[in-house]
Structure 1
Amino acid sequence: MYLIAAIVAVGLIIWGIAALAGAGRKPAVDSTAYAKGDCFVDFDAAATSGTTVECSQPHSAQLVGVENAPAEEAYPGREALEQRAGQLCKAPDIKLPENTGNLKQSSAYPSQEGWASGDRRMDCYIVTTDGNTLTASFLH
């Protein structure tokens, strides 16, 4: 009987620790559903989904800019899309800390094939090179 109680107690402790470790995390989100202001744990720009958290929780990236080009716009080319996506990280509502040595900008934009399939979305992320060490939003 004591053995069963001990096993149950250990199980509850493990469950509690696992629940606390995931506190603030939301289920994985498809990359097409990312929204401006989302903060990500273990961000991977090439992934088709990511785990979002409240920006007050430790995270490694934040989506700070989104633009959707008009459906009738002709494909402007990779370099033009890269430049447009990069400009999204220079919006006036973005406030970076004084020391930005551990931050970089990461942009996402459609390929020519994606554009032909109707993808017109450009994103710009601020990403830390130090892992999940950010604990505030860059948007103000």
Structure 2
Amino acid sequence: MMPAALLAALFLTSGCSIWEIERGEDGQVLRETAADVFDLQKGDCLNDSQVVDAAELQLTDITLVPCSEPHIAEVYVDVQIDGDGPPDAARLTELFEEHCVDSFTEYVGTDDPSAAAALKVTSFFPTEESWEQGDRLYQCLLVSIDETPLVGSAQDLATS
């Protein structure tokens, strides 16, 4: 199991994208593209260094890149959450364990910690402000432990 890692708050101000993201038939990003955070989806790779070690992060736009190019993070969980209000600290811990930790093994293809030892996990979640605007998106991201850019997708990393 991965230890609980950095949690980052995602402040979303708009659900409308102003950028067109060019994706292949498999849904993967084809070229570096500025994007709204609402455009992030499972399998996307992004190049925003503040994702790595921000204790509280507020992003409205990000840079998506093809996973074959050097990148800072990769989205591996993309789920909608429910509730009467934004998740509190206890609910964030629960969401992290339920989604980020439990899905890590499936995504990278092994439960052997040494196979993915260069990776750590972070998450994006609704803030109070973004929750009021309808944000219910919870995402888990893989990042490099030593901040070395990743190249290639981490999906099935251990089996390749």
TM-score range, shorter chain: 0.5 to 0.7
Give CA deviations for 1:59-118 in whole Å, capped at 9, x if unaligned. Answer: 121011011124xx3125342034314532231531167354442211111123322331
Work out the CA distance in 2 between the residues paired with 1:86 and 1:29.
28
In the TM superposition, residue 31 of structure 1 has moved relative to its aligned partner by: 1.0
**Pairs within 5 Å for 1:48-127:** 48-70=60-82, 73-75=83-85, 76-89=87-100, 90-91=102-103, 93-95=106-108, 98-127=114-143
Calculate percent identity across the aligned residue pairs. 30
Q: Choose the corresponding residue for 1:129, options 117, 136, 145.
A: 145
1:15 maps to none
Relative contact order: is structure 1 or structure 2 higher (C-alpha 8 Å, sep ≥ 6)? 2
- Of residues 34, 46, 50, the one that matches 1:40 is 46
If the length of structure 1 is used for normalisation, what is the TM-score? 0.66
- The one-letter amino acid paired with 1:48 is T
Higher-Rg member (1/2): 1
Q: In 2, Cα distance between the equivalents of 1:62 and 1:94?
A: 11
Please give the TM-score of this superposition, normalised by the length of structure 2.
0.59
Give the secondary-structure state (helix, strand or coil) at the position aligned to 1:44. Answer: helix
The two structures, once aligned, show a CA RMSD in angstroms of 2.5
Change (3 A) 1:48 1:125: same
Task: Name stretches of at least 5 consecutive residues in structure 2 with no aligned partner.
Answer: 1-29, 52-56
Aligned residue number for residue 3 of structure 1: none
Indicate if the aligned counterparts of 1:106 and 1:124 stay in contact, CA closer than 8 A: yes
Considering fraction of residues, name the structure with more helix.
Answer: 1
Task: Tell me if the contact between 2:108 and 2:116 (Cα under 8 Å) persists in the aligned partners.
Answer: no
Q: How many residues align?
A: 115
Q: Is the 8 A contact 1:42 1:131 kept in 2?
A: no
After TM superposition, which residue ranges in structure 1, 4 or more long, deviate above 6 angstroms?
none
- One-letter identity of the residue aligned with 2:47: V
Structure 2 contact 45–75 (Cα < 8 Å) conserved = yes
Summarize deviations over 1:38-69 as a string: whole Å, max 9, x none: 01124333332222222121112101101112
